[in-house]
């Protein structure tokens, strides 16, 4: 029983991180109908940038947690203006192919510049050690990642659901013609939403730096799990991706605990079952299936 | 609905056509002892993926140094007067390795192929070498199969194998690390490592409490680590490589495991320590085939290597140097680059160079040599860049490698 409780705690901790990492994917799809396959590469850029900023400029984890998302927000804006905007009106297969291409380019650029074996990054100051509560024992850093991720997810939900900015963004992306008729400059809102999604990937990248290998390919396998999460949650649903993030974290932890070799397969079995039973995902709208 | 014009973006793919130096020239018309009048050394390895840093383009630098040393040693007496290096990327895929090896032997005139990390790719190249009757010296792969069931007269295995890596484990058992939990990735390499380590630990009187298989690749090891720790082992052995190894070690340290169990790594290259940072690995033990700062001879080679690459050599780089140098020496002794004549010179030879200490080419074509139990230095003891290892003990060649493989029939 102790083991089960420990696995549950670890699953929830991992789930929080998954939810945050998948959030940007859900935001960009929900708002722009763009299947952003470069999300994993943006996540990788976030982690690489964190390590490089420390190495080159001595910028620590806490500053990077603010600075890296800002840089990636700008980078996302450039990518959207230069490339993504031209495909927005088309079938989302086009943007999928475009972003897939972008991710290949980004991964190779990082490989050429920084090699393949990865960059060093230690524990952030103030987050070393362990927390013990009864039978459960978790690294302080994992607890921090969990709390921080939940706060960011909550903040994003509040921003989109409860604020005037959120209402405008949703109007501009869901009903662009009517929004224009009401005097909203739709083009002005689409670009920052993409940048915002990329910045969220950047935050996940910063959080990953202390506990994941920082390599050019670190996002390439991770993106597969993230897609499983947004599909389970319902493409474009923010609540869905958060719930599915936790679900996948738990399923993975129980898999590792009780059926180790199958711990990743189980995630995709879960995805297949969800698609069979609810093709739009747990929280998806029918038309986005 | 306003229609949006989508500008057509014409993407031109510039296919990098490999202009292979066609080696179909007339054979040895001037009485030269060399086929095509030159020796062509092919290096087939990972030029772009996970093994790029530990072998990759720097293996070519190591071979260039071997050629320079050979030329300096023999001068005008050299049999191999014209030596060319060609390289190719096998992307760690056996099918690509197969095609590239065929091209190297047939179209690009390679007399030998070197390096080839990734066991499945190495086995594919061994088959091609046997079919083409040309030499293949594998340096980068670990599989026992190369000198076992898949052995053939044209294939040699130079640097290390899974059993040799596991030999370091018996040293750890002797030093009090008696109970182990092994965590291994569930594919050919990981399964082989698990079997070899289990045999080595049990042979030394230790016990393996549990072997935990993990998916490959895998990012999140937290629950695996908890499971391993629950058994209270003296040592946790991790058989993952590359990025997975780094994921594991980061999460292992984060979980505060350093204080609970010693960490042993199955296969580690110095580039792994360099990329993760010595703080994270300090105290970890592993078996090393070669270390650049072991003695003056190694250091001298490592200095030349550093000048050209800005990095210290891995044991795979040193192994490639050794394989190329001994190949050229064998040509020198044979007076020709004819594959069968060179093999006759190599078989049974006792070899010494900076990589091979007490080296010997055995009948199964496994090249055995002294190996080392290494420990990663505490960060405070690191005196310069790449100064990461402390050699605890030397495993003599005959102990480091198991007896001649009976599964091998040539």
Which residue does chain A place closest to B244, by CA atoms?
Answer: A213
What percent of chain B lies above the pLDDT cut of 70?
92
Q: Do A118 and B243 touch (CB under 8 A)?
A: yes
Which residue does chain B place closest to A129, by CA atoms?
Answer: B256
Rg (CA), chain B: 22
Which residue does chain A place closest to B185, by CA atoms?
Answer: A261
Residue B407 domain-assigned (yes or no): no
Listed residue (B385, B184, B392, B121) closest to B270, CA to CA: B385
Distance CA A144, CA A162 (A): 26
Residue A286 has what pLDDT?
A: 59
Q: Closest partner residue to B213 among A213, A260, A265, by Cβ?
A: A260
Residue B250 domain-assigned (yes or no): yes
- Is the domain of B124 the same as that of B45? yes
Q: Closest partner residue to B272 among A10, A117, A218, by Cβ?
A: A117
Across the range B245-273, mean pLDDT stands at 92
Distance CA A77, CA B398 (A): 62
Query: CB neighbours of B186 closer than 8 A, spacing ≥ 6?
Result: A261, B213, B214, B215, B216
Residue B4 has what pLDDT?
A: 42
- Is the domain of B383 the same as that of B334? no
Contact (CB, 8 A) for A152 and A200:
yes
Distance CA B199, CA B190 (A): 14
Contact (CB, 8 A) for B256 and A139:
yes
- Is the domain of B201 the same as that of B250? yes
* Distance to chain A for B214, nearest Cα, Å: 5
Rg (CA), chain A: 19
Residue B27 has what pLDDT?
A: 42
Across the range A109-132, mean pLDDT stands at 89
Q: Report the domain count for chain B.
A: 2
- Is the domain of B311 the same as that of B347? yes
Tell me the per-residue pLDDT of B368-380, one tens digit each, with 9 for 90 and over.
999 999 999 999 9
- Is the domain of B122 the same as that of B232? no
Give the pLDDT band (50/70/90) at residue B136: very high
- Which of A19-33, A194-208, B6-20, B196-210 is predicted with the least confidence, judged by mean pLDDT? B6-20
pLDDT at B3 over 60: no
* Distance to chain A for B215, nearest Cα, Å: 5
Tell me the per-residue pLDDT of B51-106, one tens digit each, with 9 for 90 and over.
888 999 999 999 999 999 999 999 999 999 999 999 999 998 999 999 999 999 99
Q: Do B275 and A118 touch (CB under 8 A)?
A: yes
- Is the domain of B221 the same as that of B181? yes
Task: Write down the residue that tokens 């973006």 correspond to.
Answer: B9
- Is the domain of B271 the same as that of B315? no
This prediction's pTM = 0.85
Residue B32 has what pLDDT?
A: 64
Across the range A44-63, mean pLDDT stands at 96
- Is the domain of B263 the same as that of B335? no
Residue B25 has what pLDDT?
A: 38
Residue B401 domain-assigned (yes or no): no
Find how far residue A197's CA is from the centre of its chain.
8
Q: Do A177 and B1 touch (CB under 8 A)?
A: yes
Tell me the per-residue pLDDT of A203-254, one tens digit each, with 9 for 90 and over.
999 999 999 999 999 999 899 999 999 999 998 888 999 999 999 999 999 9
- Boundary (domain end) residue, out of B363, B380, B405: B363
Residue B262 domain-assigned (yes or no): yes
Residue B347 domain-assigned (yes or no): yes
Which residue does chain A place closest to B255, by CA atoms?
Answer: A139
Residue A18 has what pLDDT?
A: 96
- Is the domain of B135 the same as that of B15? yes
Q: Do A261 and B215 touch (CB under 8 A)?
A: yes
Strands B179-185 and B155-157, sheet pairing: unpaired
Distance CA B190, CA B183 (A): 9
Distance CA B27, CA B34 (A): 8
Q: Closest partner residue to A217 among B3, B243, B256, by Cβ?
A: B243
Best mutation site among B275, B278, B311 for testing chain A: the one with the most A CBs within 10 Å? B275
pLDDT at B266 over 60: yes
Residue B309 has what pLDDT?
A: 95
Residue B71 has what pLDDT?
A: 96
Residue B301 lies in domain: 8-160+293-363
Distance CA B62, CA B309 (A): 10
Which CATH number belongs to the domain containing residue B252 in this structure? 3.40.50.2300
- Is the domain of B251 the same as that of B377? yes
Q: Which residue has the higher pLDDT, B132 or A260?
A: B132
Token reading at B219? 């990012």
Q: Which residue has the higher pLDDT, A143 or B12?
A: A143
pLDDT at B154 over 50: yes
- Is the domain of B118 the same as that of B70? yes
- Is the domain of B197 the same as that of B326? no
- Which of A59-68, A167-176, B97-106, B112-121 is predicted with the least confidence, judged by mean pLDDT? A167-176
Across the range B325-331, mean pLDDT stands at 97
Across the range B227-248, mean pLDDT stands at 92
Residue B78 domain-assigned (yes or no): yes
Across the range A112-124, mean pLDDT stands at 88
Q: Closest partner residue to B219 among A117, A118, A221, by Cβ?
A: A221
Q: Do B219 and A265 touch (CB under 8 A)?
A: no
Q: Closest partner residue to B212 among A129, A225, A260, by Cβ?
A: A260
Residue B62 domain-assigned (yes or no): yes
Q: Which residue has the higher pLDDT, A132 or B64?
A: B64
Q: Which residues of A touch B221 (CB under 8 A)?
A: 256
- Which of A98-107, B44-53, B203-212 is predicted with the least confidence, judged by mean pLDDT? B44-53
* Distance to chain B for A248, nearest Cα, Å: 12
Q: Which residues of A touch B280 (CB under 8 A)?
A: 120, 122
**DSSP code string of A107-156:** HHHHHHHH-SS-B---PPTT--SEEEETTEEEEHHHHHHHHHHHHHHHHH
Long-range contacts of A156-165 (CB under 8 A, 24+ apart): A156/A23, A156/A27, A156/A200, A156/A238, A157/A238, A157/A239, A157/A242, A160/A27, A160/A238
**DSSP code string of A57-109:** H---HHHHHHHHHHHHHHHHHHHHHHTGGGGTTS-HHHHHHHHHHHHHHHHHH
User: A-B interface: how many C-beta pairs under 8 angstroms?
Assistant: 131
Q: Which residues of B touch A119 (CB under 8 A)?
A: 275
Find how far residue A97's CA is from the centre of its chain.
19
Q: Which residues of B touch A117 (CB under 8 A)?
A: 50, 52-54, 242, 271-272, 274-275
**DSSP code string of A244-280:** HHHHHHHHHHHHHHH-GGGTTHHHHHHHHHHHHH-TT
Residue B404 domain-assigned (yes or no): no
Distance CA B284, CA B297 (A): 26
Across the range A115-124, mean pLDDT stands at 88
Q: Which residues of B touch A265 (CB under 8 A)?
A: 215
Query: CB neighbours of B183 closer than 8 A, spacing ≥ 6?
Result: B211, B212, B214, B221, B224, B225, B228, B236, B237, B238, B239, B240, B248
Residue A236 has what pLDDT?
A: 81
Q: Which residues of B touch A210 (CB under 8 A)?
A: 250, 254
């Amino acid at each position: 029983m102790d083991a089960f409780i420990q696995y549950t705690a670890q699953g929830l901790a991992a789930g929080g991180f998954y939810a945050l990492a998948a959030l940007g994917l859900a935001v960009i799809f929900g708002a722009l109908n763009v299947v952003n396959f470069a999300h994993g590469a943006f996540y990788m850029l976030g982690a690489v940038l964190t390590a490089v900023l420390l190495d080159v400029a001595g910028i620590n984890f806490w500053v990077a947690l603010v600075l890296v998302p800002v840089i990636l927000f700008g980078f996302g804006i450039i990518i959207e203006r230069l490339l993504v905007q031209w495909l927005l009106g088309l079938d989302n297969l086009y943007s999928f192919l475009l972003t897939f291409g972008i991710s290949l380019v980004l991964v190779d650029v990082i490989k050429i510049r920084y090699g393949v074996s990865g960059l060093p990054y230690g524990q952030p100051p103030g987050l070393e050690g362990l927390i013990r509560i009864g039978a459960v024992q978790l690294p302080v850093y994992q607890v921090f990642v969990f709390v921080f991720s939940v706060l960011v997810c909550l903040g994003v939900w509040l921003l989109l659901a409860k604020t005037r900015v959120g209402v405008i963004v949703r109007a501009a992306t869901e009903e662009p013609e009517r929004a224009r008729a009401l005097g909203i400059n739709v083009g002005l809102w689409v670009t920052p939403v993409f940048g915002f999604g990329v910045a969220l990937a950047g935050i996940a990248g910063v959080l990953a730096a202390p506990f994941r290998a920082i390599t050019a390919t670190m996002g390439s396998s991770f993106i597969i799990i993230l897609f499983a999460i947004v599909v389970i949650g319902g493409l474009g649903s923010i609540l869905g991706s958060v719930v599915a993030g936790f679900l996948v974290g738990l399923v993975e932890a129980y898999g590792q605990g009780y059926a180790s070799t199958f711990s990743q397969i189980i995630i995709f079995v879960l995805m297949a079952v969800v698609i069979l039973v609810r093709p739009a995902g747990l929280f998806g709208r029918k038309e986005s299936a | 609905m306003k229609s949006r014009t989508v500008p057509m973006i014409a993407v031109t793919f510039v296919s990098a056509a490999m202009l292979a130096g066609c080696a179909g020239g007339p054979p040895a018309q001037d009485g030269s002892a060399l086929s095509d009048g030159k020796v062509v050394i092919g290096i087939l390895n990972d030029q772009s993926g996970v093994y790029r840093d530990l072998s990759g383009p720097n293996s070519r630098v190591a071979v260039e140094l071997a050629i320079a040393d050979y030329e300096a040693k023999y001068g005008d007496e050299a049999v191999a007067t014209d030596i060319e290096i060609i390289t190719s990327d096998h992307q760690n895929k056996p099918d690509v390795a197969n095609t590239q090896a065929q091209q190297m032997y047939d179209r690009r005139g390679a007399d030998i192929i070197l390096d080839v990390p990734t066991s499945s790719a190495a086995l594919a190249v061994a088959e091609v070498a046997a079919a083409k009757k040309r030499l293949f010296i594998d340096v980068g792969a670990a599989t026992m199969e190369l000198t076992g069931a898949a052995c053939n007269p044209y294939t040699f295995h130079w640097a290390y194998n899974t059993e040799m890596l596991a030999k370091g484990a018996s040293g750890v058992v002797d030093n009090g690390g008696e109970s182990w939990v092994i965590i291994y990735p569930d594919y050919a390499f990981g399964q082989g490592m698990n079997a070899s380590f289990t045999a080595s630990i049990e042979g030394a009187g230790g016990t393996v409490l549990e072997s935990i298989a993990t998916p490959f690749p895998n990012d999140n090891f937290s629950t695996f680590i908890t499971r391993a720790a629950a058994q209270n082992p003296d040592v946790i052995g991790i058989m993952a490589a590359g990025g997975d190894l780094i994921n594991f070690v980061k999460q292992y340290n984060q979980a505060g495991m350093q204080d609970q169990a010693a960490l042993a790594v199955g296969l580690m290259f110095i580039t792994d320590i360099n990329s993760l940072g010595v703080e994270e690995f300090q105290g970890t033990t592993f078996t090393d085939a070669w270390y650049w700062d072991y003695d003056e001879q190694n250091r001298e080679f490592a200095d030349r290597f550093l000048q050209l690459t800005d990095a210290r050599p891995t044991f795979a780089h040193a192994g490639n140097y050794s394989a190329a140098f001994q190949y050229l020496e064998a040509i020198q002794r044979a007076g020709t680059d004819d594959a069968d004549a060179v093999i006759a010179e190599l078989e049974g030879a006792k070899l010494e160079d900076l990589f091979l200490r007490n080296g010997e080419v055995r009948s199964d074509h496994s090249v055995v040599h002294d190996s080392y139990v290494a420990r990663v230095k505490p960060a405070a003891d690191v005196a310069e860049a790449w100064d990461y290892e402390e050699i605890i003990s030397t495993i003599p060649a005959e102990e480091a490698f198991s007896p001649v493989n009976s599964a091998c029939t040539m």
